Structure 1
Amino acid sequence: MRSETKPFVLGEDLIAELAAAMPLPVVVVGADERIIAANAPARALFGETMAGRHYITVLRQPMLLDAIENVLRLSEPAEATYRITQNQRELVYDVAIRSVRVPGFSCVTVAFEDKTEVQEAGQMRRDFVANVSHELRTPLTAVLGFIETLLGPASEDAAARKRFLEIMDREAKRMNRIVGDLLSLSRVEAERRVRPTDRVDICALIRSVSLSLQPLARDAEVRLIVEGAEGVEEVPGDFDQLTQVFTNLIENAIKYGGRGKEVHICVTSHSVEPTMRGAGVRVDISDQGEGIATRHIPRLTERFYRVDSHRSREMGGTGLGLAIVKHILNRHRGRLRIESHPGQGSCFSVILPYE
C-alpha cells in the first residue's frame, strides 16, 4: 500500500523561523500588506512593535514603499535604497525586495544590506583625490606661470629671473614633500596589520630626534626641554616609523609654538596605562603656542585637514603629517591624545604599550 506524501505548507511560523536565521535585517510582508515577520536585526532597526502593522507605517520612505507595492502587485524583483540618520551618522542600506508564492500562501521579503562603510570609503576616496589634486595644482600652476614668464617678458631680467627661480624652487620642494608624504602614508597603510617585532629604546630615540631638531629650534628661538628620558623600558616598534612620529610632532611644536617660547618633551613610564589596559610609556609634547579650538581637534588627523591653511602652507606643511602619525601609532597599537585650548598651548601625547 503506497503512502500519500503530505503536502508541504509554508506558513507564518515557518516564515518567522527562516527570517530569524538570516544575518541581515529581514522584514516579511504578507498578502494583506501587513508585516507577518521581522528578525532581530530588523527589529533593532525599526522597533520591536512591527508585527501586524501595515508596512507603510513602519518603513515610511517613498522609494522603498513604491518598490514594495510593485512587488506585491507584479511579483517581480525590485531594489531600493533606505537611508536613516543615527547618532549624527547617515546609514545607507541597499534593499532587495522579492516575492514568495507557493500554493495557498504568498508574501514579500524585504532584506536590508548595510552599505554605509562602502559609501563612506567611496566618499573618502573621492575627497582624497580632490584634495591631492588641489594641493598639487596650486604649486604646479605657480611653477608653470613663472616658467611662462621667464620664457617671455622676464627672459632678460636677471633680478626677476632670480626671484622667480627661488619661488619655483620653493613650490617644487613643496610638491616633493606632498608626494613624499603620500608615499609614506601609503607604505604605513600597507603595513597597518603587521605588528612591529623589533625593540626600540624610546628615550634614546627622543634624545636623537631632539638633537636633530636643535637647528630648527635655534632658528625659531625655541628652547627644547626634554624631561624624564631615563630608565624607560624598550617598546616593540619600528625605529624609523617612530622616529617619523616624534620628528613630526616635535617639529610642529617648534613651528607653531611661537618664537621665543619653550617646547617640553616629557617621557613617563606607567605600570598601568588606562588607555592600554596594561603597562606603557607616554611621551607628552607640549608647546606654548596659540592653542587650537576644541571643534578642530577631532579632525586634526584627517588627511589635508588644516586649522589655518595659509599659515600651514607658509610653514611648509603638507596637511598629511598627523594622518601619518595616527596610522603609524595604529600599527603599533598605540594612541594619540590631543589637548589644547585657545591661548593655552597644545599637548600631543603618544602612548605606546610595552607588550
Structure 2
Amino acid sequence: MSDLNVDTFLLALPFPALVIGPDERVTAANRLAETLLGTELAGRHHITILRQPAVLETIEAVVAEGTGKLTRFLGRDPHRDAVYKVSVNPVGSSVLLVFEDQTEIEQAGQMRRDFVANVSHELRTPLTALLGFIETLRGAARNDAAARDRFLSIMEGEAARMSQLVSDLLSLSRVEENERRRPTDPVDLVALIDNAVSVLGPVAATAGVSIQRQLPDHPVTVPGDADQLRQVIQNLVENAIKYGVSGGRVVISLSDPGPQPLLRLPGVVLSVQDFGEGFAAHHIPRLTERFYRIDKHRSREVGGTGLGLAIVKHIIGRHRGRLQVESTPGKGSRFSVILPTAN
C-alpha cells in the first residue's frame, strides 16, 4: 500500500493502530494511537513509544516467525487506567499493531472474582464456627447441658446468617435478571409502608425504637412490582432500626406526587430517616456495593449480609427511580427513594 493508503486505512479503524516499518520505526499512526501513545509518532523508534517488555517481545516474535500474535498493553486514557488487547500482525515487511480496549471486560472479570471471594468468605466464617461447635459438642461439652444449649443457640444464629445470605444472593440474582424489564402494575405505597411497619413493629419494639409515619391520608400509586418495593421499604426500615437504634426512633415519610427534578418526571419521594450515629460522607458512594460495610464487625453482630443496599439499588433501578443518601455523624441518616408515578 502507498503511504496515503496506509494513512487512510488506519484512519478508518475504530481502534488505536500504528505500523512499524522494517527499520523498526513507526511509519504511520492514526489519531486514536496518538491519543493513547503521544503525538508525532511517525519516524520514532517503536521502543521509545512501546516500552512495555511484553509488547516489545511480541513484536520481535512476529518479525522473526511471520505469524500474528496477541499481547496486552497497560495504558491510560484521559480519565482512567486502561487495559488493551494488542493484535500484532505482519503486513509485508512491516508490522501492524491494533489496540482494543478491554478495560470494561477486565473490570467485569475482577468484579466476578471479588464476588466469589466475598461469598466464600461470608459462608466460610459461619461454617467454621459451626464446625468448631460441633467438634466441641462431640467432645468436652457432650454431657454439659448448659454449654450444649448455649452452643446450639449460637449455631442456630450462624445457620440463620448463612440462610439469609443465600436468600439475599438469590434475590439479587432475580432482580438483576429482570432489571431491564420495567414493572407496570399499580402499587399503593401507603399500603406497603403500613405493611412494613406491621411486620417490623416487633423488631423495633425489641430494640426500643419507635416507628413514626408521615404519610398522605390517601393511596399513592406508582407503577411497579409490589413484592420488590415491599423489599426496598423493609430493607431500609430494618437498617434504620439496626443502625439507628441509639436515636430511639425511625421516621418514614412519603410525599404526594409532584415534579421531581432528578427524574425529570412527576414522582414521589419515600424517605426513611433514623437519628442514630450516622456515618461520614465518603462512605456514601460505596454503600450500594455488594458486601460493602461501614463497620464489618457491627454489621455481622446485627445479622447484616452486606447485600441489602445492593438489592435496593437494583430494584430502584428497575423501577427507573433514584436513591439519595444523606448522613451526618452523630445525627443520623436519611435514605430517600424517588419513584416515577407514570410509565
Counterpart code for 1:224? I
Contact 1:268 1:281 in 2 (8 A): yes
Counterpart code for 1:322? L
In structure 1, the residue matched to 2:203 is: 216
Query: 1:35, 1:321 → 2: CA distance?
Result: 53
Normalising to structure 2: TM-score of the pair? 0.92
Structure 2 CA distance for partners of 1:318 and 1:245, relative to 1, 3 Å:
same
Contact 2:267 2:339 in 1 (8 A): yes
Q: How far did 1:70 drift?
A: 4.2
Structure 2 CA distance for partners of 1:225 and 1:171, relative to 1, 3 Å:
same
In structure 2, the residue matched to 1:250 is: 237
- Please tell me whether residue 305 in structure 1 is matched to residue 292 in structure 2: yes
Structure 2 CA distance for partners of 1:271 and 1:59, relative to 1, 3 Å:
farther
> What are the residue-to-residue correspondences of 1:94-105 with 2, within 5 Å?
94-101=85-92
Alignment match of 1:117 (pick from 104, 118, 129):
104
Query: 2:31, 2:222 → 1: CA distance?
Result: 44
In structure 2, the residue matched to 1:16 is: 7
Query: 2:192, 2:40 → 1: CA distance?
Result: 60
Q: How far did 1:57 drift?
A: 3.5
In structure 2, the residue matched to 1:62 is: 53
In structure 1, the residue matched to 2:312 is: 325
- Please tell me whether residue 83 in structure 1 is matched to residue 70 in structure 2: no
Structure 1 residue runs without a partner (length 5+): 1-9
Alignment match of 1:41 (pick from 17, 29, 32):
32
SS at match of 2:245: coil
Query: 1:215, 1:25 → 2: CA distance?
Result: 62
Q: How far did 1:236 drift?
A: 1.6
SS at match of 1:213: helix
> What are the residue-to-residue correspondences of 1:44-193 with 2, within 5 Å?
44-72=35-63, 75-86=66-77, 89-101=80-92, 106-193=93-180
- Please tell me whether residue 26 in structure 1 is matched to residue 17 in structure 2: yes
Which region of structure 1 is more displaced relative to structure 2, 259-268 or 300-309?
A: 259-268
> What are the residue-to-residue correspondences of 1:251-270 with 2, within 5 Å?
251-259=238-246, 261-269=248-256
SS at match of 2:67: coil
* Aligned positions, number: 342
Contact 2:246 2:275 in 1 (8 A): no
Query: 1:351, 1:152 → 2: CA distance?
Result: 56
Structure 2 CA distance for partners of 1:73 and 1:232, relative to 1, 3 Å:
farther
Query: 1:173, 1:137 → 2: CA distance?
Result: 14
Contact 2:246 2:277 in 1 (8 A): no
Which region of structure 1 is more displaced relative to structure 2, 327-336 or 247-256?
A: 327-336
SS at match of 1:59: coil
SS at match of 1:265: strand
In structure 2, the residue matched to 1:199 is: 186
Structure 2 CA distance for partners of 1:282 and 1:49, relative to 1, 3 Å:
farther
**Percent of pairs with identical residues:** 55
Counterpart code for 2:114? D
Q: How far did 1:231 drift?
A: 5.0
Counterpart code for 1:127? D
Q: How far did 1:242 drift?
A: 0.8
Q: How far did 1:109 drift?
A: 1.1
Contact 1:223 1:260 in 2 (8 A): no
In structure 1, the residue matched to 2:327 is: 340
Structure 2 CA distance for partners of 1:286 and 1:88, relative to 1, 3 Å:
farther
Query: 1:72, 1:260 → 2: CA distance?
Result: 71
Q: How far did 1:299 drift?
A: 1.5
Structure 2 residue runs without a partner (length 5+): none
Normalising to structure 1: TM-score of the pair? 0.89
Query: 1:185, 1:15 → 2: CA distance?
Result: 50
Query: 1:272, 1:77 → 2: CA distance?
Result: 58
Which region of structure 1 is more displaced relative to structure 2, 264-273 or 65-74?
A: 65-74
